[in-house]
Amino acid sequence: MSRFERELPFKTAYDPVEKVQSVNEDPSLTDQSQKDSTDVHKILATYDKTGVLVNVNKARPHYDDVSDVGDFQQAMNKVAAVTNVFESLPLKLRRKFGHDPKELVKFLANPDNREEAVELGLVVPPSPVYAEDDPRTQTRTETSTETSTPETPTEPAETPTE
Tens digit of each residue's pLDDT (9 = 90 or more) over 52-74:
887 777 778 888 887 787 888 98
Q: Is residue 106 part of a domain?
A: yes
Q: Is residue 113 part of a domain?
A: yes
Q: Is residue 86 part of a domain?
A: yes
Q: Is residue 116 part of a domain?
A: yes
Q: Is residue 98 part of a domain?
A: yes
C-alpha–C-alpha distance, residues 44 and 4, integer Å? 63
Q: How many domains does the chain have?
A: 1
**pTM of the complete model:** 0.39
C-alpha–C-alpha distance, residues 53 and 42, integer Å? 11
**CA dist 42 → 37, 85, 127 (Å):** 7, 56, 71
Q: Are 114 and 123 in contact (CB under 8 A)?
A: yes
Q: Is residue 130 part of a domain?
A: no
pLDDT surpasses 60 at 157 = no
pLDDT surpasses 50 at 98 = yes
Q: Is residue 55 part of a domain?
A: no
Task: Tell me which residue range forms the domain holding 88.
Answer: 72-120
Q: Is residue 133 part of a domain?
A: no
pLDDT tens digit sequence for 2-30: 665 667 778 888 988 888 999 989 988 88
C-alpha–C-alpha distance, residues 97 and 108, integer Å? 11
